[in-house]
């Protein structure tokens, strides 16, 4: 698979790159960022996949999270893909911020026309994973996944379903149960249809109850002043699911923090060190 280099910048002794390729899963050009720490020049390093939230592109994490310094110290690579296909121009795909462009929700759509391109689940879990493993100095057997909001939902669901690929999971303010919140209900109905039974494969709380998790404890940070806390995020549902399934969870409520990258950048070092300790 051919990759095109969009940009490369020196950062903390390593390289922050942005790349593009033609995706078989989404049927369009996809962009993603890769930070390679200095250690990657000597041999393959562990790798973390970051999944961003609604309205984001690959750029948000690269520019705002402040992750490169600690990743350089720890010798861990960071991969930050886009959140949805772009340029497919499906009718209505840009009408709202929480469905369509910028809102792929990390599912494989089954409803037309979305089913032909909105396949972000398979894109992340299979195509991008294999592209990065084959094209960069990373050790694919030591991979973790984390994300924010919609991307936290994606990290949890993809990680839980692929423990063979992703050994560690963490999240910032994740949508823990999209089957039980307005953002999730809109997206899942639009991409998957009205049969709610088919939604369960993309709900972290239901996946935990069904399959459990045998890896290291799940690390989740949640801002106490997050404007979406009660209506969309509902971390108490994740607490209950993990307790029932005896899955170790470290949910940290952070007083005064909201849903922004100010929140993410404040605790990103903790997450990187959590993953690195197990990878």
Contacts of 194 (CB under 8 A, 6+ apart): none
Ordered per-residue pLDDT tens for the chain, 279 residues? 689 999 999 999 999 999 999 999 999 999 999 999 999 999 999 999 999 999 999 999 999 999 999 999 999 999 999 999 999 999 999 999 999 999 999 999 999 999 999 999 999 999 999 999 999 999 999 999 999 999 999 999 999 999 999 999 999 999 999 999 999 999 999 999 999 999 999 999 999 999 999 999 999 999 999 999 999 999 999 999 999 999 999 999 999 999 999 999 999 999 999 999 999
Report the domain count for the chain: 1
CA dihedral 36, 42, 48, 54 (to 10 degrees): 10
**3-class secondary structure, 168:** strand
With the C-alpha atoms ordered 246, 250, 256, 261, is the resulting torsion angle positive or negative? negative
The one catalytic residue among 23, 170, 226, 275: 226
Catalytic annotation on 265?
A: no
CATH number of the domain enclosing 40? 3.40.50.1820
d(CA 83, CA 104): 6
Range of the domain at 193: 3-278
The CA-to-CA distance between both ends of the chain, in Å, stands at 27
* pLDDT value, residue 70: 98
Catalytic annotation on 98?
A: no
- Specify the pTM: 0.98
**3-class secondary structure, 35:** strand
Burial class (CB in 10 A: 0-12, 13-18, 19+), 92: exposed
* pLDDT value, residue 1: 65
Yes or no: say if 275 and 146 are a contact pair by the CB < 8 Å rule.
yes
With the C-alpha atoms ordered 105, 106, 109, 113, is the resulting torsion angle positive or negative? positive
The one catalytic residue among 148, 153, 259, 271: 259
The one catalytic residue among 11, 52, 84, 149: 149
Catalytic annotation on 149?
A: yes
């Amino acid at each position: 698979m051919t990759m095109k280099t969009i940009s490369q910048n020196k950062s903390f002794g390593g390289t922050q790159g942005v790349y593009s390729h033609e995706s078989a899963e989404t049927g369009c050009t996809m962009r993603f960022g890769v930070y390679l720490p200095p250690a990657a020049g000597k041999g393959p390093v562990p790798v973390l996949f970051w999944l961003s939230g609604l309205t984001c592109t690959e750029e948000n994490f690269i520019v705002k999270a402040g992750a490169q310094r600690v990743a350089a110290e720890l010798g861990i690579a960071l991969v930050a893909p886009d959140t949805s296909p772009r340029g497919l121009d499906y009718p209505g795909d840009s009408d709202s911020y929480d469905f369509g462009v910028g809102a792929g929700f990390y599912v494989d759509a089954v409803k037309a026309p979305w089913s032909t391109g909105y396949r972000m689940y398979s894109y992340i879990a299979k195509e991008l994973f294999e592209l990065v493993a084959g094209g960069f100095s990373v050790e694919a057997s030591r991979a973790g996944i984390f994300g924010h909001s919609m991307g936290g939902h994606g990290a949890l669901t993809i990680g839980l379903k692929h423990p063979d690929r992703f050994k560690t999971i963490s999240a910032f303010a994740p949508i823990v149960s999209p089957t039980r919140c307005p953002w999730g209900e809109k997206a899942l109905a639009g991409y998957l249809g009205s049969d709610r039974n088919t939604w369960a494969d993309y709900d972290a709380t239901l996946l935990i109850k069904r399959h459990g998790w045998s890896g290291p404890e799940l690390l989740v940070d949640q801002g106490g002043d997050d404007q979406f806390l009660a209506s969309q995020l509902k971390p108490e549902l994740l607490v209950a699911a993990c307790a029932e399934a005896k899955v170790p969870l470290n949910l940290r409520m952070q007083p005064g923090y909201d849903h922004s990258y100010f929140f993410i950048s404040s605790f990103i070092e903790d997450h990187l060190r959590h993953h690195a300790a197990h990878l």
